[in-house]
Chains A and B, each alone.
Chain A
Amino acid sequence: MIPTDIALAATDLASAGWVKVGTVDDLPELEGRRTTIEGRKVAVFRLLDGFAAIDAECPHKRGPLQDGLVADGCVTCPLHDRRIDLGTGEVMGHEGESVSVHEVYVDGTDLWVRLVGAA
């Protein structure tokens, strides 16, 4: 998921489909914030051991997932408590419902996201 070559230049990242969305300090621990990439709303989360990014709209009623509670690698939608796995994008207990999971790359303090399929 995450590029292994360590010293990628910003231009290399950009040409590989990555988009800089902010810095690590823009995200408080265990919270999420929304960003927009190519018109697509993406929720980026800071977990205890890294970052995660998924589509920002809950498949149920389009709740803003960046505003959900984060625990155990999942986010709970603030509108109707759907729980979504940040690793797989699956809605727990609702088979077939899911959101796209995007890649996150931390370069120093910079936070980069690459939309799924943009590689």
Chain B
Amino acid sequence: MPATPNPTGASPSGARKILVVGGGIAAQSVVEALRDRDATARITMVCEEPRLPWDRVSLSHLLIDGSVDELQLRPGTWYEDHGVELLVGERVTELDPVGHTARTSSGIEIAWDRCILATGSDALMPPIPGIDQEGVVAFRSPEDCATIQASADAGRPAAVIGGGLLGLEAARGIAARGATVTVVHLMDRLMERQLDANAAALLAPAMEELGVEVLLEKSTTRMRGVDGHVTGLDFADGTTLDADLVVMAIGIKSRTDLAKAAGLEVGRGIVVDDRLQTSAPDVFAVGECAEHRGMVYGIVAPIHDQTQVCAEAVLDGPEAAYTGSILSAKLKIMGVDLVSIGAAEGSGATVEDREARSYRKLVVQEGKLVGAVLMGDIKGHELLLDKVRTGHEVDDALALLAEASQASAADLPDTAQVCNCNGVCKGEIVQAIQDHDLGSTAEVVARTRAGAGCGTCKPLVKEILLDVRGGNVDENTYLCACLKQTREDIAGQIRAQGLESVSEVAAACGTGRECGGCNPGLAYLVSEINGNRHREERHARYINDRVHGNIQKDGTFSVVPRMKGGKTTSDELRRIADAADKYDIQTIKVTGGQRIDLLGVKKEDLPAIWEDLGMASGMAYAKSVRTVKTCVGSDHCRFGLDDSMGTGIEIEGMLEGLYTPAKVKLGVTGCPRNCAEAYIKDIGLVAIEGGWEVYVGGAGGTEVRKGDLLCTVGDKDEAIAASITFLQYYRETAEYKERTYTYMERMGLEAVQAVVFDEERGAALRERFHLAQAAAIRDPWLERRKPVVANQFSELDTEAPVFGFAPMAGDEAEAPASSAAEPVLAAGSATLAITYSDPTDGSNDR
């Protein structure tokens, strides 16, 4: 609150009018810092880019996988909720620091009391002959990424000029898409500003292993071209390089045109003092456009330091001063761990393990820690950053290095910055966990924004959470816990590199090699992303999915045939009874999912009992769509409002054979009396007067949770469409083993609805659902006729029969297994009328 009233500060209504020029990380950060301190100020944000503020630090994600929407700093509703007027796609063209007005590109006049410039920077494009040709791009915008992607996907060779952070990230993105790429660097080592020679010497081969060629000490003199499109580079030493794409990443240039025209003092950037004030009294500047004590910062961490001080100054808060930032940088390339803090050159302590390719160095000056370089093993970097920041006195640098490598979240001081992208320190995270009783990393990220940027600090966020809650945390954050790789990390690689099997994922990312515990999860992920057109590797699946039965405590298996909607026939029951006698079934149990479970079947008897049953697998052993429980509905019930049994059978037919992140059970009930328990199913359909309700995320297990009402629709076809759209979204975005009820709590109903009912995204989800379903194996029990590995159902000391030959895909077969009342031929016959859905051919899918 103002200590002394400012003559121009108060608008007639009393609330201060603040104009923020810019829509990047700095603009967003300063707006949030202002709003945190002043609930009434009238804030207007003018964002030149045609999209909501997004996280440019994560730009390289756009090269691998994903859209800029996913990088939004805040959802669109945030601005309204926080009373921030946001103009998107508008540029401020004139600024009058004396009259306190501004004008935008479309002629809007804005009066302000205080103005903050956060106009950012452009890529530095030196006047090299030929640089203005097609095929020469910067690495700044989503549009640049689209150009880079298109070129890389076409397999055209690329050159990246600049071997700093940005250039290396761009090159890695191009290499990940399978194109040849060369980093061309002027200096004799990569990242020379952040690394000493030793670390740089380790970095170059690490990049080369990722498919990035490195050329050092190359000065580009000319960009050759044909018909106005670049074809290669000429270097000062007479050598050349062919390239159809040239990415410029040699540095940034502050955007100062507006400030210059307004008469503000401008050097390399807009000159500001320790309060971030420009040469005009009510105009401030933050971020990459600002020059403070001769420094223009091109990295994200200083922005948050600046915006906090700036917000205080703008609001006439307590005296605050910005005295500069410690430069720290973290390379965001999977498989290359590298952190540089402060000074890289100088003496202190060094620990190098060439074998493990790890290099850790501290730089000490006059008894104080001034820098650190961590390569390969970056443990403890947050602690070291905090110690560099506070000018920690060092007696024994080697001991400090050892301490840092052992540092756990608990050892970090509250002031240690955990998330550099969003400037969040440990104390804030601890506070948020305690104040809001946060129980999962996802919640902490959502609340504090720590980890919402590049995401590299998420492991630490989780560690802090575990520490604060004494281990009482319930989540599946990592798909591969050994390498701390998330589902998203791995999915990105699968998409970018077109991986089609678990082995390929292991080769590309190292995932699943250590304990192997994540192999079933990887198998699901690979199958899902490839729409079930993946290369199946049974050794990555649980025994249940290798032999299509649920293993019991004595090593025998249970057999549950599909009985859609819980409806059966006397023929089926007779076959089940006969099979139970023939195979000496210990227990016959009617299940909660309205089916019949035959317990105690030996592995080698599975093919024969399936053959005798002549029914399809109920997949009661898999993480897949299990059953659709129904009530009798309007066919017989005097309360029934619609045909729940028919609807349940129809939906089960559409979903059968689909694998899911965790088991999915459905219910369809003919009236709100809920006899089929649809309210507590993963997906539940309830007939109501005049239509249907669709519930999702219900649970009737250890936890009982009524599902969230996804929608109310007019007829069953719409209800089924909503169900499959939701199911596909869940299949694509849930963590492995995450049931719909935890998924819904994590995602939030509104966020799910926004996607499922978005016309375009919904249609795309349904299309992918149908593609996946067309290639799914509807009845895995048909492997009795066509085993997929040697001795699939037998041991070395047992034998299992194989039944005839499988009908070829596309063979005319009268009745699919799903047709309940089909008579069944004798065991051993090869003419059983069952279609086999070949995973490579969806055409015979019923």
- The judgment on whether A and B are partners is yes
- Cβ–Cβ < 8 Å partners of A63 in chain B: 555
B residues 501-517 in Cβ contact with A at 8 Å: 512-517
Q: Cα distance A63–B538 when bound, in Å?
A: 20
A33 touches B795 (CB 8 A): yes
- Which A residues are in CB contact (< 8 Å) with B519? 69, 71
- CB pair A26–B551 under 8 Å, yes or no, is no
Which A-chain residue is minimally distant from B520 (CB atoms)?
A: A69
Asked if A76 and B551 sit within 8 Å, CB to CB, the answer is no
**A35 near B795: Cβ-Cβ < 8 Å:** yes
Q: Does A30 contact B (CB under 8 A)?
A: yes
A69→B517 CA distance, assembly (Å): 8
B539 close to chain A: CB less than 8 A = yes
Interface: A27 (CB within 8 A): yes
The answer to whether A64 and B555 touch across the interface, beta carbons within 8 angstroms, is yes
A58: min CB distance to chain B, Å: 10
Q: How many A-B residue pairs have CB under 8 A?
A: 76
Interface size band for B:
20 to 34
Q: Across the interface, which residues of A come within 8 angstroms of B542, CB to CB?
A: 69, 78
**A92 → B minimal CB distance (Å):** 9
Whether B797 is near chain A, meaning CB under 8 Å from some CB there, is yes
Q: Which residue from chain B places its CB closest to the CB of A22 in the assembled complex? A: B796
Interface pair B795/A34, CB less than 8 Å apart: yes
- A residues near B555, Cβ cutoff 8 Å: 62-64, 67
A66 to B107, alpha carbons, bound, how many Å? 75
Q: Are the CB atoms of A76 and B516 closer together than 8 Å?
A: yes
* Contact between chains at A26 and B539 (CB < 8 Å): no
Give complex CA distance A33, B517 in Å: 20
Cross-chain contact A67 with B543 (CB below 8 angstroms): yes
Q: A44-B796, A67-B555, A78-B551 in contact; A27/B512 too (CB < 8 A)?
A: no
Interface residue B790 (Cβ < 8 Å from any Cβ of A): yes
User: Does any Cβ of A come within 8 Å of B789's Cβ?
Assistant: yes
CA distance A81 to B515 in the complex (A): 11
Residues 25-49 of chain A: 1 if any B CB is under 8 Å from the residue's CB, otherwise 0?
1111111011110000000100000
Q: Which residue of A lies closest to B539 (CB)?
A: A30
| Bound Cα distance from A115 to B269, whole angstroms | 78
Give the A interface residue count (CB, 8 A). 31
Say if the beta carbon of B406 comes within 8 Å of chain A. Answer: no
CB proximity to A under 8 Å, residues B289-315: none
CB distance from B481 to the nearest CB of A (A): 13
Q: Interface readout for B750-789 with A: 1 if CB under 8 Å, 0 if not?
A: 0000000000000000000000000000000000000001
Q: Is the CB of B515 within 8 A of A28?
A: no
A67 to B550, CA, bound (A): 12
Chain B CB within 8 A of A114 CB: no
Q: Are B795 and A66 interface neighbours, CB within 8 A?
A: yes
Q: A71-B513, A74-B516, A83-B515 given as contacts; is B543 within 8 A of A34 (CB)?
A: no
Contact of B539 among A22, A29, A35, A36 (CB under 8 A): A29
Q: Choose from A36, A64, A68, A83 the contact partner of B797 (Cβ within 8 Å).
A: A36
Q: Mark B489-502, 1 if CB is under 8 A from A, else 0.
A: 00000000000000
In the complex, which residues of chain A have a beta carbon less than 8 angstroms from the beta carbon of B538?
28, 31
In the docked arrangement, what's the CA distance between A16 and B540, Å? 36
Chain B residue at smallest Cβ distance from A34: B795
A78 and B543 CA atoms in complex are apart in Å by 7
5 closest residue pairs by CB, A with B: A71-B516, A30-B539, A35-B796, A28-B789, A67-B543
Supply 13 A–B pairs (Cβ within 8 Å), ascending by A. Answer: A22-B796, A25-B790, A31-B546, A33-B791, A35-B795, A67-B543, A68-B543, A69-B539, A70-B539, A76-B516, A76-B517, A78-B551, A79-B553
A residues within 8 Å of B by Cβ?
21-22, 25-31, 33-36, 44, 61-64, 66-72, 74, 76, 78-79, 81, 83
